[in-house]
Amino acid sequence: MRREGRLTEGQRRGLEAQWPSCGIEASSEMLDLDAEFGRGAARILEIGFGMGESLIAMAAAHPENDYLGIEVYRPGVGSLLRQVGEHQLSNVRVINEDAVVVLEQMIPDNSLDRLQLFFPDPWHKKRHHKRRIIQPGFVALIGEKLKRGGVIHMATDWYPYAEHMMAVMSSAPGYKNAIAHGEYAPRPEFRPLTKFEKRGHRLGHGVWDLLFERTA
């Protein structure tokens, strides 16, 4: 569900200045991504981009790609849009809505080259595990939206959740581990280190990346 929150002045200005050109209103109609971005390009969708630092870094480093971010937290959307303006980026679009709703109603099948899910809530308590976003039904939905050969890229700093992701993905029809069966991936160069992750490294915390390719 969409979550409001108190906006900083910078976030408010980002929303006011950049939403008309970069924001996509939630709707029940499928998007024409070529029309939204004004070109054809590789399309990367990130779910839950937080305050947007890593998504902005990727978009700035790879202007040949188009990036679509989905985030329910409005201050995060404002933060991302502020950075879009600061970096004068034209390859970023954002939707402020629940990811499942967007995937089901707005993202065309076979349209994404990569889907990114970095550091989702692990829902530590066993009774809350059903709330974890990586579940068989969600993974099947993503598979419909990825092109054949497209990749879902996940990262977590909670090893039990990494194990959960590995188990769900390894048994999901139509996917294969892009590294090797049961193996985690080295952090790809295109995934920037977040401030949160750098702090974790200093404290000795691990991070696990998973890359699974759609094969059918």
Q: Determine which one of 32, 121, 157, 209 is catalytic.
A: 121
Which region among 35-39, 113-117, 154-158, 182-186 has the lowest average model confidence (pLDDT)?
A: 154-158
Cβ atoms of residues 136 and 40 within 8 Å? no
At residue 131, the pLDDT reads 87
Higher-confidence residue: 6 or 5? 6
Cα gap 46→94, rounded to integer Å:
10
Contacts of 161 (CB under 8 A, 6+ apart): 120, 122, 132
Question: Where along the chain do its domains lie?
Answer: 9-214
> What is d(CA 54, CA 46) in angstroms, rounded to the nearest whole number?
10
50, amino acid identity: G
State the fold for domain 9-214: Rossmann fold (3.40.50)
Per-residue model confidence as pLDDT tens digits over 78-134: 999 999 999 999 999 999 999 999 999 999 999 999 999 999 988 788 887 888 999
Give 178's contacts (C-beta < 8 A, 6+ positions apart). 151, 185, 211, 212, 213
Assess whether pLDDT exceeds 60 at residue 196.
Answer: yes
Is residue 109 part of the annotated active site? The answer reads no
pLDDT in the model for residue 120: 92
